[in-house]
Structure formats: C-alpha cells, structure tokens
C-alpha cells in the first residue's frame, strides 16, 4: 500500500499541470452541481413553512358586493372547511406615492391574527386609526415604499391621506415581483371612505384540515357557486396557484440548473477519462517497469486512480462549501419575499452527497483507462516504449491536403483526430459547453422577450391608467387632443363565467384597433367583430373547446354568445390560468357601465415620449397615471440571467479546460515527432499553427454540433415554459438568436480554443530538438 501511495504522490508532483486541470474542472463542476442541489433541496421549504406558521388559506374567494354577507357565513360548512376568515370587505384602491400610482386590493380587517390567513407583521404595527394602512412587504420592497410614507388615495373623489404604519407578509397572495395585485389593509371603520358605491366586494378565506387537491378545490368552488346567486363569485386564488407562482422563478431555474449540472459533471468526466488515458499512454513503459518490479494490476490501477482522486477531493473540499455560500443570496431572496428572517442554511448531508457524487463519477471515469493500464503485459509494454498510435486522422488529412491547406494545418488536423476516443471525449466537453451557452443565452432572452411582448413594447409607447373618478369621455378627449397621439386602444377588465371553468375568467376588452397590439396567435385569427373571442390554450383545454366552437358565457348575470376564433399566446394569466380577449362591442351589450381602466397610446413616429408623458400627467396629476410603456419590474429576471449565464460560463470554462488538456496530452505524446519536424525545417510559427489547429478544429467541430443542439434544447425548454400557460410556442418566438450570433458563437469558441491551445503550442515550438532526440 505504501508503495502505491509513494508512487501516486510522486507522479502527482511530476504531473502537476494535469493535477491542476483535474482540480479546476472538478472545482467548476462540483460548484455548479452544489448550487443546483442546494436550490433544488430548498425551494419548497420557505413557502411551506410560512404557510403552516400563518395558517394559510387553501382557498380565497371574492364575492360580489351585492351578496348578503349573512349568507356567506354558511359557506364554510357547505364545503367542509375546518376554519375560515371573513367575510372581509374589500375594494380596488388607487393611490399615489413618490410620484407613482399604484392599485392595491384594500381589505377591511381589524386584526392581523385569526384562525386562517394570519398576517405576519415584519415591520411597524397593525393600523389602529382610520388614516393608517398596512402593506405587504413584497409590495413595499418592490416599490420602495417605507414605514411612515404618506399615500394619497386617488380612487375616491374625496381625497384622503393614509400613513403606512405596518408591513406584513401575506401567504395567501401572489408575490408582487411575479405580478399580481397586492393586498393592503385598513381598519374596518376606515373602509367606507375608501370605496365608492358598487366598487366593494367580499373576500372569504377557507382552510381545510388537510391540503386539498386541485380537483377537490374545483369541487368546492362548484359547491360555493351553487350556494350563492349566479355570478356572485368574482375571483378566487388557491394555495396551489399561489405556491406555483411563488416558486415560478426558482422552478424555471432549477429545471435548467439540473440540466446544466449534469452537463458540467459529464464534461468533467470526459476530461478526467481523457487525462487518465493520456497518463496511461505516456507512462506506457513505466507501467511495464512497475509491473516488472512487482506491482499487482490492482496496485497499478490504484496508482492511477489515486492521482486523479487527490485533486478531485481537494477541489470538492473547496468547491462544495464555496458553492453553498454562493447560493445563499438566491435562497435568501425566496425567504425574504415571505418576510422570513433568512437563516443561512448549510446542509452537511447535501455537501456529503455532492462530494460522494463527484468522487464517484470521477473514479468511474478514471477507472476505465486505469483498467487498461492494469491489464497491460509488462514485456510488450517495455519493448514498445510508447503506446500504439492510431491512424484515424488519415481521411481528414487527405481531405485537407486536397484543399491545399498549409502543411502545419494539415498535420494539426491529423493530430486532433489521431486518437478517436480522446477526440470524442473532448468533443463531448465542447458540445456541452457551447450548447449550455446557447441555451442560457436563449432562455435569458426569452424571458425578456415575453416581458416585452406582454408589455406591448414596440407597439405601444405610453400607457395611461385612469382613476374611476375620471370619466372615460374626458380622458379620451384629453388624449386625442395631444398632437402626437397616433393610435389609442382602450382596455377594460371584466370577468366572464364560462361553463367548466371554476373561476371567473379574466377578460380583456379592447376598444380601438386591438389587432395592432401585436398579440401572437398560435392558431386561428384575431377577433374582428361582436361575439368573436380569442382565448389562451389553458382556457381551451380546461373548457374542452376548440377554435371555431361557440359557448355561452355570462357576465353580471347576462348571457353572452361567444365564438372562439383564435388561440392567443399569453403569460399574464399565470401557470394554469385562463384569459379571454374580445372586442368592446361584444361586452358592451351585457355590461352597460363598462369603462376602460387604461389606454394604450401609440405616438406618431418621431414624437418625444418623455415630453408626452410629462404633459399628459400634468393635465390630470391625480386621476391619471401616465407611464412610458415598459416591461415592468423584471428584477427577478436579472437574477435568473445572472445564474444561467454564470453557470453556462463555468461549463464553457470546463470545455476550454478540456481542449487545453487534450492539446497538452497530444503535444506531450508527440514531442519527438515535433522535434523531428523541426529538424525537417518546421518553423516555430508553423509548430504553433499545427498545435493551435488541433485545438481549434475540435472546437469548430464541437461548435457545429453544439449550436443546433443548443437551439433545439432551448426550444424544448421554451416549449415547457409556454406549456405552463397552456400555450404552444408561436414559431416567431423561437427566433431570439440572430444568424450572425449563431455563426459567431462557434467562431468565438474556436478563437478561445486556439488561444488555449497556443499555450502548449508555444511549449512545443520552444522544445529543444537536440534534448528531445538525445533523450530517446
């Protein structure tokens, strides 16, 4: 055993550079894997913890304000809820703070505790007088509203000021950064002055003794619907939906992360296998001598595997804790969104798992070539001094010769493929690296694209949100009086109840040239007249309808005959959500008091958007919120981008290490050939060109495979993302890559590979011919 140890450590010292390559690649791979594992292990935790601690509601249902609150008291028993809260009175309230206008759902509630849906106060206190308000922490953080800030209420004619006295965590609503109107709370006595007649509704929280399935929730909703007058339920949120939305960013991330860490480990395994094969080849004679002096095959294998395990273990011991520390900010962002004081969590078990995984994969990768060393017959090995070499580069050399490429390039191509297994393993690492970069780039772009798409960027310049206190006619007149105003599409929200769909369906009603908003249709066409409607894929699935089908919806008790003419690509309704879009004329028949809540304005070309926004805002400072069209808050997108691109960068580095490693092994093995070529008159520059070609070629080949593979993988991931909203991806959405980029990515890869290969290339060019040949 000592002999094995002594030999292994001596060899390690001699092969320092190779040890460094193993160390760096495993460090990167183990780091990626650990970050992924940490995120996967912890995503479900903070939400569940908070949900239990705060007795979260399994179901939150909004009832129309005309419903008798006394009747609502019987609903929990009707659906078998073990606890309930409410009915709370609630209303949409618009207010202004720090120059911006926001809309929140303001709820009348005297007490943050209770049996269901407790609110955790993370800052300040619960409101105690009628000019005080509490906000969600999620909202306050996102919009930089602090305790003590004074909010000017705009949605009611009589202006009033509310002071923010408390910041709370509400587990039953969607997080602000992913979208979703946030709740705010005032005491009951303050409520009446904050709402207008007919604008308030009731909210009920239900909790069950065990977590219901979505089918059960669906059934409960049906029961509720039957127990109140028709169309009384105006909205509902299930804990499943809230949880999904809460996890959406981490969920998208973890899927990609798992794929990426598998990539990183596979690339590392390829490099390690290459290295050990290389060591076996270059130590061919030595292996014979080792056996001749009495090493058993197992001991020979031991020597080689140990040489790899020492740097791997070192890299793991450094990499795993480092990655755990690095993933803390990501974990923290989740907990902080819930207002949980974030305790950095380090799971030793997870670390051990990552360590065991890394050692196992690397050992397997090292064992295969080491077995070959163990099996070699001493006599043959000593006699042959160097391992037999392959001739597989021949066809390639022929081809290159015929193309009249310079000799050094032709020789380099031959070197790249002389050992096919090595070339294939290197290709594997390169393909993984480049494909990951393509996927990461694609996904990042897609997220931004989706946000631009939903924000009508490029189609709409200014979005004007109107307070209910201002008349539609006045607003339209004001907007149209601006000389730059080109096109105006007004938008109203409504809820349509459809058969087979439990919740009322969010419905966007457009007045004006809505086709110009640029909504993408995955099939069918945009609506063009009364009665025509487009829906998202999720709606069609759940309502069992197809394009061309008609159905009867109801709004405010009035029946509407609707015909589906197209399927719209949409994310705003969230995972599993439903949305309908139709023309004003369709709805106006059933809803006489329909009024737009916002106006999407496209300016005449060449207009100054900022000046327009300022002028319009100044005309109605209280009742209009005028903003240049934007993608909204996309902070969490940049977190995703940083993580994806960062990890893709790491895997790309691993691929570069793979190329460097292969070129290094090749030049070492071919030192004598290089010396011979130098005696034949090969110049230093030609030597470097030869070596660089061998590295560049593998990168080029890898890039040519990886770019289409990466694009394909990106599409698969994108399709899954689309499927969250029940959508199929419209083909035009795939085109996030410019052609030049798809060409540039492999070119950059080749350039980097050539740069990496130039290092061993320089060493080869500098070899002293006399010394090399003398040593033979």
* Binding region for ligand ATP (CB under 6 A): 770-771, 774
Q: Is 628 in the site for other proteins (CB under 8 A)?
A: no
Q: Is 455 in the site for other proteins (CB under 8 A)?
A: no
Tell which positions 370-399 bind other proteins, by CB under 8 A. 388-391, 393-394, 397
The 3-class SS string of 167-194 reads: EEECCCCCCHHHCCCCEEEECHHHHHHH
User: Which of residues 652 and 671 has its CB atom nearest to ligand ATP in the complex?
Assistant: 671
Q: Is 680 in the site for other proteins (CB under 8 A)?
A: yes
Residue 381 CA neighbour count, 13 Å, CB half: 20
Q: Is 698 in the site for other proteins (CB under 8 A)?
A: no
Whole-number Å distance between alpha carbons of 735 and 492: 32
User: Which of residues 585 and 683 has its CB atom nearest to other proteins in the complex?
Assistant: 683
- Say which DSSP state 731 is in: H
Q: Cβ of residue 683: shortest distance to other proteins, in angstroms? A: 4
Q: Is 544 in the site for other proteins (CB under 8 A)?
A: no
Q: Is 204 in contact with 60 (CB distance < 8 Å)? A: yes
Q: Cβ of residue 775: shortest distance to ligand ATP, in angstroms? A: 7
**Region of residue 556 (phi > 0: left; psi between -120 and 50: alpha; otherwise: beta):** left
Q: Cβ of residue 687: shortest distance to other proteins, in angstroms? A: 9
Whole-number Å distance between alpha carbons of 171 and 175: 9
Q: Which residues contact 473 (CB under 8 A, 6 or more apart)?
A: none
Q: Is 462 in contact with 626 (CB distance < 8 Å)? A: yes
User: Which of residues 87 and 278 has its CB atom nearest to other proteins in the complex?
Assistant: 278
Strand 83-97 with 150-153, pairing: antiparallel
User: Which of residues 618 and 770 has its CB atom nearest to ligand ATP in the complex?
Assistant: 770
Binder of other proteins out of 98, 113, 198, 406 (CB under 8 A): 406
> Which residue minimizes CB distance to ligand ATP?
774
* DSSP characters over 741-752: HHHHHHHHHHHH
The 3-class SS string of 348-364 reads: HHHHHHHHHHHHHHHHH
3-state helix, strand, coil in the chain (%, to 5): 55, 20, 25
User: Which of residues 552 and 768 has its CB atom nearest to other proteins in the complex?
Assistant: 768
User: Which of residues 607 and 676 has its CB atom nearest to other proteins in the complex?
Assistant: 676
Binder of other proteins out of 682, 706, 745, 757 (CB under 8 A): 682
Residue 672 binds: one of ligand ATP, other proteins, none (C-beta under 5 to 8 A by kind): other proteins
User: Which of residues 404 and 774 has its CB atom nearest to ligand ATP in the complex?
Assistant: 774
Residue with tokens 């569940």: 48
Binder of other proteins out of 685, 735, 743, 747 (CB under 8 A): 685
Q: Is 684 in the site for other proteins (CB under 8 A)?
A: yes
Whole-number Å distance between alpha carbons of 489 and 661: 60
Q: Which of 256, 317, 272, 278 is nearest to 718 (CA)?
A: 256
Q: Cβ of residue 400: shortest distance to other proteins, in angstroms? A: 11
Rounded alpha-carbon distances, angstroms, from residue 360 to 172, 300, 312, 424 = 43, 19, 10, 22
Q: Cβ of residue 387: shortest distance to other proteins, in angstroms? A: 11
Q: Which residues contact 13 (CB under 8 A, 6 or more apart)?
A: none
Binder of other proteins out of 294, 605, 681, 739 (CB under 8 A): 681
Q: Cβ of residue 776: shortest distance to ligand ATP, in angstroms? A: 11
Residue 773 binds: one of other proteins, ligand ATP, none (C-beta under 5 to 8 A by kind): other proteins
Q: Cβ of residue 772: shortest distance to ligand ATP, in angstroms? A: 9
User: Which of residues 384 and 679 has its CB atom nearest to ligand ATP in the complex?
Assistant: 679
Whole-number Å distance between alpha carbons of 196 and 157: 9
User: Which of residues 20 and 770 has its CB atom nearest to ligand ATP in the complex?
Assistant: 770
Q: Cβ of residue 770: shortest distance to ligand ATP, in angstroms? A: 5
Q: Is 688 in the site for other proteins (CB under 8 A)?
A: no
Q: Is 416 in the site for other proteins (CB under 8 A)?
A: no
Q: Is 773 in the site for other proteins (CB under 8 A)?
A: yes
User: Which of residues 277 and 417 has its CB atom nearest to other proteins in the complex?
Assistant: 417
Q: Cβ of residue 769: shortest distance to other proteins, in angstroms? A: 5
Instruction: Kindly determine how many residues on this chain lie close enough to bind other proteins according to the rule CB under 8 A.
Output: 34
Rounded alpha-carbon distances, angstroms, from residue 681 to 107, 675, 676 = 87, 10, 9
Q: Which of 609, 614, 594 is nearest to 486 (CA)?
A: 609
Residue 406 binds: one of other proteins, ligand ATP, none (C-beta under 5 to 8 A by kind): other proteins
Q: Which residues contact 571 (CB under 8 A, 6 or more apart)?
A: 450, 454, 724, 725, 727
Q: Is 658 in the site for other proteins (CB under 8 A)?
A: no
User: Which of residues 52 and 771 has its CB atom nearest to ligand ATP in the complex?
Assistant: 771
Q: Is 528 in the site for other proteins (CB under 8 A)?
A: no
Tokens of 486: 């080109």
- Say which DSSP state 538 is in: H
x/- contact string, 729-768, with other proteins (CB under 8 A)? ------------------------------------x--x
Tokens of 167: 């910041």
Binder of other proteins out of 677, 707, 713, 721 (CB under 8 A): 677
In a 3-state reduction of DSSP, which class is residue 409?
Answer: helix
Q: Is 672 in the site for other proteins (CB under 8 A)?
A: yes
Residue with tokens 């006599």: 379
Helices H, strands E: what count in the chain? 27, 20
User: Which of residues 43 and 417 has its CB atom nearest to other proteins in the complex?
Assistant: 417
Q: What is the largest CA-CA distance in the chain?
A: 103
Q: Cβ of residue 771: shortest distance to ligand ATP, in angstroms? A: 5
User: Which of residues 297 and 390 has its CB atom nearest to other proteins in the complex?
Assistant: 390
Q: Cβ of residue 309: shortest distance to ligand ATP, in angstroms? A: 36
Q: Is 420 in the site for other proteins (CB under 8 A)?
A: no
User: Which of residues 13 and 774 has its CB atom nearest to ligand ATP in the complex?
Assistant: 774
**Region of residue 719 (phi > 0: left; psi between -120 and 50: alpha; otherwise: beta):** alpha
Residue 585 binds: one of ligand ATP, other proteins, none (C-beta under 5 to 8 A by kind): none
Q: Which of 254, 701, 703 is nearest to 443 (CA)?
A: 254
Radius of gyration of the chain (CA): 33
Tokens of 768: 């002293």
Whole-number Å distance between alpha carbons of 170 and 119: 5
Residue 380 binds: one of ligand ATP, other proteins, none (C-beta under 5 to 8 A by kind): none
Tokens of 748: 């950059």
User: Which of residues 70 and 388 has its CB atom nearest to other proteins in the complex?
Assistant: 388
Q: Which range of residues in 83-91, 264-272, 533-541, 678-686 is near other proteins by CB under 8 A?
A: 678-686
Q: Which residues contact 232 (CB under 8 A, 6 or more apart)?
A: 63, 64, 66, 67, 225
Residues that bind other proteins (CB under 8 A): 388-391, 393-394, 397, 406-408, 410, 414, 418, 672-673, 675-686, 765, 768-770, 773-774, 776
């Amino acid at each position: 055993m000592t002999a094995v140890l002594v030999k292994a450590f001596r060899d390690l010292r001699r092969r320092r550079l190779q040890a460094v390559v193993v160390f760096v690649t495993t460090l990167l791979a183990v780091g990626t894997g650990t970050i992924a594992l940490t995120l996967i292990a912890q995503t479900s935790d903070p939400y569940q913890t908070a949900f239990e601690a705060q007795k979260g509601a399994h179901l939150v249902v909004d009832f129309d304000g005309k419903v008798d609150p006394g009747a609502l008291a019987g609903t929990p028993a009707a659906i078998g809820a073990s606890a309930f809260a409410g009915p709370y009175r609630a209303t949409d309230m618009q207010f202004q703070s720090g120059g911006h206008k926001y809309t929140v759902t303001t709820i009348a509630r005297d007490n943050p505790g209770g049996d269901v849906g407790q609110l955790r106060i993370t800052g300040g206190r619960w409101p105690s007088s009628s000019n005080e308000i509490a906000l969600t922490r999620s909202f306050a953080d996102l919009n930089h509203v602090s305790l003590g800030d004074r909010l000017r209420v705009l949605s009611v004619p009589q202006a009033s000021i509310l002071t923010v006295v408390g910041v709370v965590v509400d587990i039953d609503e969607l997080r602000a950064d992913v979208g979703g109107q946030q709740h705010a709370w005032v005491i009951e006595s303050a409520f009446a002055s904050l709402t207008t007649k007919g604008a308030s509704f009731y909210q009920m929280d239900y909790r069950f003794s065990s977590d219901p399935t979505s089918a059960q929730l669906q059934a409960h909703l049906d029961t509720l619907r039957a127990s109140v007058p028709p169309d009384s339920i105006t909205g509902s949120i299930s804990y499943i939906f809230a949880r999904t939305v809460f996890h959406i960013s981490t969920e998208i991330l973890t899927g990609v992360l798992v794929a990426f860490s598998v990539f990183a480990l596979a690339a590392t395994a390829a490099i390690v296998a290459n290295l050990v094969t290389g060591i076996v080849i270059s130590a061919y004679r030595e292996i014979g001598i080792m056996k001749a002096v009495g090493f058993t095959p197992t001991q020979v294998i031991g020597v080689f595997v140990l040489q790899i395990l020492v740097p791997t273990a070192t890299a793991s011991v450094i990499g795993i804790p480092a990655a755990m520390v690095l993933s803390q900010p990501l974990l923290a962002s989740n907990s902080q969104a819930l207002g949980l004081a974030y305790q950095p969590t380090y799971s030793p078990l997870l670390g051990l798992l990552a360590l065991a995984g890394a050692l196992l994969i690397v050992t397997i990768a090292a064992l295969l070539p080491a077995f070959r060393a163990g099996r070699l017959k001493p006599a043959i090995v000593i006699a042959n001094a160097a391992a037999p070499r392959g001739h597989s580069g021949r066809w390639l050399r022929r081809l290159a010769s015929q193309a009249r490429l310079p000799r050094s390039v032709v020789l380099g191509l031959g070197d790249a493929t002389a050992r096919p297994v090595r070339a294939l393993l290197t290709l594997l690492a390169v393909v993984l690296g480049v494909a990951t970069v393509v996927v990461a780039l694609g996904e990042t772009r897609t997220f931004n694209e989706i946000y631009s798409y939903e924000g009508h960027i490029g189609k709409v310049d200014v979005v004007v949100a109107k307070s209910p206190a201002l008349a539609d006619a006045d607003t339209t007149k004001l907007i149209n009086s601006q000389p730059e105003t080109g096109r105006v599409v007004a938008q109203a929200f409504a809820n349509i109840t459809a058969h087979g769909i439990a919740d009322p369906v969010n419905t966007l009603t457009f007045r004006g040239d809505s086709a110009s908003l640029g909504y993408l249709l995955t099939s069918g066409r945009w609506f063009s007249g009364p009665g025509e409607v487009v829906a998202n894929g999720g709606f069609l699935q759940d309502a069992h309808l197809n394009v061309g089908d008609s159905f009867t919806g109801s709004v405010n008790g009035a029946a509407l005959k609707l015909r589906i003419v197209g399927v719209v690509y949409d994310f705003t309704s969230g995972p599993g959500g439903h949305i309908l879009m139709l023309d004003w004329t369709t709805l106006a028949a059933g809803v006489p008091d329909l009024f737009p809540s916002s106006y999407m304005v496209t300016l005449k070309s060449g207009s100054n958007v900022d000046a327009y926004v300022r002028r319009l805002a100044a005309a109605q400072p209280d009742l209009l919120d005028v903003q240049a069209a934007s993608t909204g808050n996309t902070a969490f997108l940049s977190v995703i981008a940083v993580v994806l691109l960062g990890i893709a960068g790491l895997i790309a580095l691993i691929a570069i290490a793979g190329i460097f490693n292969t070129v290094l092994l090749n030049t070492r093995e071919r030192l004598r050939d290089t010396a011979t070529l130098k005696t034949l008159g090969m110049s230093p520059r030609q030597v470097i060109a030869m070596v660089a070609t061998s590295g560049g070629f593998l990168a080029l080949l890898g890039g040519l495979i990886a770019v289409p593979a990466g694009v394909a993988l990106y599409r698969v991931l994108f399709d899954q993302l689309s499927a969250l909203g029940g959508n199929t991806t419209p083909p035009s959405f795939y085109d996030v890559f410019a052609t030049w980029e798809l060409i540039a990515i492999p070119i950059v890869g080749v350039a980097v590979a050539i740069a990496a290969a130039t290092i061993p290339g320089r060493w080869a060019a500098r070899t002293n011919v006399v010394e090399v040949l003398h040593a033979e």
